[in-house]
């Protein structure tokens, strides 16, 4: 009998200063940007570990932490759903149902990865709990003069396959890029673009390339500038959008999240054991 698999989708988050001025104990002072960035992961772990609910409208969402360390946080998210069950008297009754998913944060300054379990009975889209977390954390992290942005990781090959498939129809190519502060992915981004973003204090940057009226864009993997932008985005640095000739709907990489699996049996141990298993999974995928 085959072991049942649990599927996880991978995101990356970046922590960015809102501005270089902070207030601590009612004393105003200027804090250099690099000092604020150096303390960002500690602040993030403290704020994240304090989150226990993320209610949204009529939807109740709970978060229970199984492990909290400065560099790795592991928890389970439960969401309130309702199920209509048949009864012994041949009728039906509505009952509350709280399906759960695992979520793990690798919170080292050169990683900043999230692995979130995909389970459709809890959330149809993995981006739903991620968006709830992003909104909750942004509100709470303002006190630290930090903001957080989550972006899905995706396979570069999927983008290049799309570009090849539609190479005669690409009218517009847009990169939505988060200002970098992750060493292991920042090297793939143009130094000029990264320096410009940091000099004006932008948290995200949009680069749009448009084709002339009588020809498509030449989007090719051997173009080093385009390849660098694709590589940066694919590692969780942003998203890419293609607009095609005579097609209203745009194609975006944000809908293609990198997915990995693990035996469900490995999720039944202690919090530390589950954390080790998920960290091992995230590290293996990072090395590919």
- Within 8 A by CB and 6+ apart from 124, the residues are none
Residues in the chain: 288
DSSP state of 137: H
At residue 131, the pLDDT reads 92
pLDDT value at position 51? 95
DSSP 37: H
pLDDT of residue 141: 93
pLDDT at residue 205 in the model = 81
Please, is 133 exposed, middle or buried when counting C-beta atoms within 10 Å of its C-beta (0-12, 13-18, 19+)? Answer: buried
Q: What pLDDT score was predicted for residue 60?
A: 93
What phi and psi values does residue 187 have, to the nearest 5 degrees? -65, -20
Q: Rounded CA gap, 22 and 31, in Å?
A: 7
**How many Å apart are CA 107 and CA 40, to the nearest integer?**
10
**pLDDT at residue 190 in the model:** 63
Q: For residue range 1-55, list pLDDT tens digits in order.
A: 567 999 999 999 989 888 644 444 433 444 466 788 888 999 999 999 999 999 8
CA 207 – CA 44 distance, rounded (Å): 29
Token look-up 């050169």 returns 110
Q: From CA 162, how far away is CA 209, in angstroms rounded?
A: 17
**Residue 215 Cα to chain centre, angstroms:** 35
Enter the tokens of residue 280.
């091992």
Ranges of residues in the chain whose predicted pLDDT is under 50: 20-31
Q: Whole-model pTM?
A: 0.80
Output the pLDDT for position 224: 86
Residue 262: its pLDDT value, please?
92
Measured N-to-C along each axis, helices 224-232 and 156-165 cross at an angle, to the nearest 10 degrees, of: 130
- The owner of tokens 């990356």 is 12
């Amino acid at each position: 009998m085959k072991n049942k698999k649990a599927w996880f989708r991978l995101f990356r988050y970046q922590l960015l200063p809102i501005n270089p001025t902070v207030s601590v104990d009612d004393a105003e002072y200027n804090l250099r940007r690099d000092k604020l960035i150096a303390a960002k992961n500690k602040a993030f772990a403290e704020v994240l570990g304090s989150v226990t609910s993320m209610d949204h409208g009529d939807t109740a969402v709970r978060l229970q932490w199984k492990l909290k360390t400065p560099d790795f946080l592991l928890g389970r998210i439960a969401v309130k759903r309702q199920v209509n069950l048949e009864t012994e008297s041949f009728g039906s009754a509505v009952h509350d149902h709280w399906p759960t998913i695992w979520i793990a944060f690798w919170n080292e300054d050169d990683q900043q990865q999230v692995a979130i379990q995909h389970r459709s009975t809890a959330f149809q889209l993995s981006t739903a709990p991620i968006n709830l977390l992003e909104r909750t954390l942004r509100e709470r992290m303002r006190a630290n003069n930090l903001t957080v942005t989550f972006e899905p990781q995706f396979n570069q090959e999927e983008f290049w396959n799309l570009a090849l498939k539609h190479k005669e129809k690409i009218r517009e190519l847009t990169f939505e890029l988060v200002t970098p502060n992750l060493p292991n992915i920042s090297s793939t981004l143009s130094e000029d673009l990264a320096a410009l973003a940091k000099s004006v204090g932008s948290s995200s940057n949009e680069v749009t390339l448009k084709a002339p009226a009588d020809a498509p864009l030449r989007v090719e993997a051997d173009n080093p500038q385009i390849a660098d932008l694709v590589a940066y985005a694919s590692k969780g640095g942003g998203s890419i959008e293609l607009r095609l000739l005579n097609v209203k709907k745009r194609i975006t990489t944000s809908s293609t999240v990198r997915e990995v699996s693990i035996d469900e049996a490995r999720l039944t141990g202690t919090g530390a054991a589950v954390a080790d298993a998920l960290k091992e999974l995230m590290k293996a995928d990072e090395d590919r």
